[in-house]
Structure 1
Amino acid sequence: MSFYTDVLNYEKVKTLAADIDHIDLSTTKIIKDPDVAAATALSIYNNNDISTEALIEAGKRRKKAYRKNNIIGFVPIYLTNHCDGECKMCGMRKNNDSLVRQFSTPSMIDEQLKFLYEQQHMRGVAFLTGEYNDGFARSANAFIVGYALRRALDFGFKTVYMNIGSLQPEYMEIIADFIKPEDRHRVAMCVNQETYNETMYTRFMAQEGDAFKANFKNRIDSHDSWSKMGFVSHQIGSLLGVNKDVGEEVAGLIAHAKYLMSTTAKTVFFSLPRLNPALGTSNKKLVQDDALVRVIATLAFVAPESAVMMTTRETRELQDQVMPLLGCLAPGTPEVGGYLNDPEMMPNNEKVAQFRISDTRMPRDTFERVEANTEFNILDFVSENNRAETGLVANH
């Protein structure tokens, strides 16, 4: 069984959604069936009789019941901005001649891990790269990422993530060889589908001939392969604005999450980036703030056992607005080696960064502000009150 072959069917979901005549926002039940959950989410998102304000309150209640006052935190480290992909909306696309390409050395990886562990007090970190067509390049990248994951675990990071594009089993095996079986629950694979509409995916994500990135099915199947190898943490996501039918993305995300939770998944994160005007896609965001908030509230209500993630691509004002609905916050710079220059502010140079961020505060500042001004606790971050007890020396 696979999500692509046996579950992903928007026409079926729309038919089921059309038959829903009532939504109980006071419910405490969790819908486990992927089709029913997707139809419920689609019905809620498209229902003008359900105000966004009412949906936010319901989502807050559901999220708090399952995640208490905890929000997971992690910080990205870009290992390289080289990529063979030709995604039209991405600053790292292969044909973007204005981007200065960079690559991390082992010492750069270690220096950034040390800085994030000792100075930013982080215990969650993610590694990001581009995607590559050549099999040898994919193997080499998997080896480098596996090394970085191992180094982070050895430093003392509790949870590590990788966002390096879709992977076939042979490349996952290279990475898995660096991860002890007892550590596999600490490693999450982040592969955003970008859009659950296959036609739109082909238009935006790759030119003909860019076979690996252009393979819509292979991208989805990465998560099935990850599950079969005994890993239990997944990040899925849609790039909002690629598909004009945002409801289709809501339905796809919910169906995918519920499917993964029915297999081996213990944790599923939702990533919801928007097309960024800094990349020349538009003079304004195609999905406005109110629509994004409604998407987040819908996901929090229908899948409170999962975690909606937000990055500092979004403003701190929007972060504050949706904080009670979030399960994960990930501040950081999209530059290679971006934590090595200025310890007070994250850089965001268009000549080397994948995209523009709205909030350039250092991760520690972001998380300390959340803990000081809200009721929420940041997991995988050592708060000021706990630093004396835990110590700050990395295990390198």
Structure 2
Amino acid sequence: MKNRTADFDSMTTEKTAEADELAELFREDNIEKFLARGEELARDKEEIERIIKESVNLEGLSPEEAAALLQIEEREMLELMLQTARQVKETIYGKRLVLFAPLYFDNICDNKCLYCAFRQGNDEVERRRLSQEEIKKEVEALIEKGHKRLLVLTGERENEDLTYLLEGIRTAYETGTEAGEIRRINVEVAPLTVEEFSQLDELGIGTYTCFQETYHRPTYDRLHPSGPKSDYDWRLSVMDRAIEGGIDDYGIGALFGLYDYRFEVISLLLHANYLQERYGVGPHTISVPRLNMAAGAPLDNPPAPVSDFQFKKLVAVLRLAVPYTGIILSTREEESLRDQLFRHGVSQISAGSRTSPGGYEEARQRDSKEEQFSLHDTRPIAEIIYELAEKNYLPSFCTACYRKGRTGEDFMDLARPGKIQQYCKPNAMMTFKEYLEDFAGDELQERGESCLEHHLDEMKENNSDLAGRIKERLNKIGRGERDIYL
């Protein structure tokens, strides 16, 4: 994490050209051009219906088409788009939702982001950095709740090396209990150098994620007045360095509420297209958090509020525009809205989350003095799983693609035409079966087994041989075998 600016300034001519291309791509007038064209298209209702109808072909949307759908204000048209997003999502991934938990190693940060409780100088937050023993205890607590996938997060320090982060990830991977182990760790930390990304890649992480927060440069500059994060271009070019460093699964995102949501959606689409065209691999995930209250943050209200109507619309547009990517929804949202979006585009969710270091220890779970932001869906993971199973959605703890090498281009080759579902559904079923055997109470186990039977019956109709093989594997899990996957 050292010498970021020096590394950026010393890039080769080719890398400088990439940085210049990115800066040009996200010029304010360039984004506004797409939005203006979309506004023109949106005046033709038949054109809007055509765009939505053809999106089921899984070919995505052009920036102009996405901009047109972002103009929709009629509830009837939004409902049509939501139903289409649901169809696209289920064609790619099936009726499954991947579950994970965020794990904060620390809340110490040198940035002064105006919307974040971790900002430097905020006396309302108690600072804490977990020891390796504390990281182990946190991981044990998450394992005992049934988690298999973690997202590691930290604050950002100006002159800190990677030693602490790498050691913490090793500790998390090495931790196990009688209930199991963590099988894949994804990472969301500040932008790194190419060399640092290489070190991170050597640990066998899953997806590296970094949000631009806002692609609108004037707003970015105003909200990030100091600290390493104040460098817009260094953050914007992070995935280029990640890819050069060996990372082949990465996620992008924006913090909605900082600037016009339409501007951010088009920027996310342009960023995804840029990565796909330059490297042959688009983002594995796109995250869509909305700005929440944060203790001691000067920005106590969103500068560009996003209504629930607009939020549902932008999720649907992203699903249609980038059909292959996983869309991540956090516990920032109310449970009723989360339940709706589970069905209409979202494919990955955090569950039972805490946003403070040490937050999973029983004695600290109600302590909000170390949290990054407030949460709205505070349901325990078992409750979320029950409600998913009740609707015949498969809760998935699958990590198979990471461990079988179905990442990067290999993943995209399967996800784009919808072939990844041949792995997603069976692996979701097997990891769900594990959860039911190891963590579920009687009521949840009964509900979950009914959900599994429902999906087995569906599978029999399309592929009886596969259904037979999966049923056999489910029976093996019931007899005590673990970690079976395709």
Q: Would you say same fold, with TM above 0.5?
A: yes
* 2:334 is equivalent to residue 293 of structure 1: no
Other-structure match for 1:336:
357
2:145 & 2:128 partners in 1: Cα distance?
24
What whole-Å deviation, never above 9, does each CA across 1:122-143 have from its counterpart, x for those lacking one?
1110111111222xx1x1xx22
Given the superposition, is the C-alpha separation of residues 43 and 292 from structure 1 closer, same or farther in structure 2, using an over 3 Å criterion? same
2:369 & 2:395 partners in 1: Cα distance?
35
Other-structure match for 2:250:
234
* 2:206 is equivalent to residue 187 of structure 1: yes
Instruction: Using the TM superposition, give the Cα deviation of residue 246 of structure 1 relative to its aligned residue in structure 2, in angstroms.
Output: 1.3
2:372 & 2:383 partners in 1: Cα distance?
23
TM-score normalised by length of structure 1: 0.85
What whole-Å deviation, never above 9, does each CA across 1:220-252 have from its counterpart, x for those lacking one?
211111122232222211111111x21100101
2:141 & 2:359 partners in 1: Cα distance?
11
1:38 & 1:196 partners in 2: Cα distance?
15
Q: Is the 8 A contact 2:40 2:68 kept in 1?
A: no
Instruction: Using the TM superposition, give the Cα deviation of residue 305 of structure 1 relative to its aligned residue in structure 2, in angstroms.
Output: 0.6
2:38 & 2:305 partners in 1: Cα distance?
25
Q: Is the 8 A contact 1:194 1:237 kept in 2?
A: yes
Q: Is the 8 A contact 2:34 2:63 kept in 1?
A: yes
* 2:202 is equivalent to residue 169 of structure 1: no
Q: Is the 8 A contact 1:371 1:378 kept in 2?
A: no
* 2:217 is equivalent to residue 198 of structure 1: yes
Q: Is the 8 A contact 1:232 1:266 kept in 2?
A: no
Aligned to 1:26, the other structure's residue is in SS state helix
Highest RCO, 1 vs 2 (Cα 8 Å, sep ≥ 6): 1
Corresponding letter in the other structure for 1:218: W
Corresponding letter in the other structure for 1:63: K
Given the superposition, is the C-alpha separation of residues 364 and 232 from structure 1 closer, same or farther in structure 2, using an over 3 Å criterion? farther
Corresponding letter in the other structure for 2:340: Q
Instruction: Using the TM superposition, give the Cα deviation of residue 76 of structure 1 relative to its aligned residue in structure 2, in angstroms.
Output: 0.6
Q: Is the 8 A contact 2:255 2:291 kept in 1?
A: yes
Instruction: Using the TM superposition, give the Cα deviation of residue 98 of structure 1 relative to its aligned residue in structure 2, in angstroms.
Output: 1.5
2:336 & 2:31 partners in 1: Cα distance?
34
2:213 & 2:164 partners in 1: Cα distance?
24
* 2:145 is equivalent to residue 130 of structure 1: no
Higher helix share: 2
Matched length: 371
Unaligned runs of at least 5 residues, structure 2: 1-17, 176-180, 399-427, 439-476
Aligned to 1:187, the other structure's residue is in SS state coil
Instruction: Using the TM superposition, give the Cα deviation of residue 88 of structure 1 relative to its aligned residue in structure 2, in angstroms.
Output: 0.4
Q: Is the 8 A contact 1:38 1:250 kept in 2?
A: no
Q: Is the 8 A contact 2:135 2:172 kept in 1?
A: no
Other-structure match for 1:29:
57
Other-structure match for 1:249:
264
What whole-Å deviation, never above 9, does each CA across 1:190-227 have from its counterpart, x for those lacking one?
110000111110011233xx3x2111111121111112
Indicate which of 96, 106, 115 corresponds to 1:89.
115
Corresponding letter in the other structure for 1:26: K
Between stretches 270-279 and 219-228, larger displacement belongs to 270-279
Other-structure match for 2:372:
354
Q: Is the 8 A contact 1:82 1:102 kept in 2?
A: yes
Q: Is the 8 A contact 2:286 2:327 kept in 1?
A: yes
Higher gyration radius (CA): 2
Aligned to 2:151, the other structure's residue is in SS state strand
Other-structure match for 1:69:
95
1:311 & 1:251 partners in 2: Cα distance?
21
Instruction: Using the TM superposition, give the Cα deviation of residue 352 of structure 1 relative to its aligned residue in structure 2, in angstroms.
Output: 1.1
Q: Is the 8 A contact 2:294 2:372 kept in 1?
A: no
1:372 & 1:386 partners in 2: Cα distance?
17
Other-structure match for 2:145:
120
RMSD: 2.6
Between stretches 349-358 and 283-292, larger displacement belongs to 283-292
Given the superposition, is the C-alpha separation of residues 283 and 250 from structure 1 closer, same or farther in structure 2, using an over 3 Å criterion? closer
The percent identity for this pair of structures is: 21
TM-score normalised by length of structure 2: 0.70
Q: Is the 8 A contact 1:77 1:128 kept in 2?
A: yes
Instruction: Using the TM superposition, give the Cα deviation of residue 257 of structure 1 relative to its aligned residue in structure 2, in angstroms.
Output: 2.0
Other-structure match for 1:371:
389
Indicate which of 80, 105, 117 corresponds to 2:131.
105
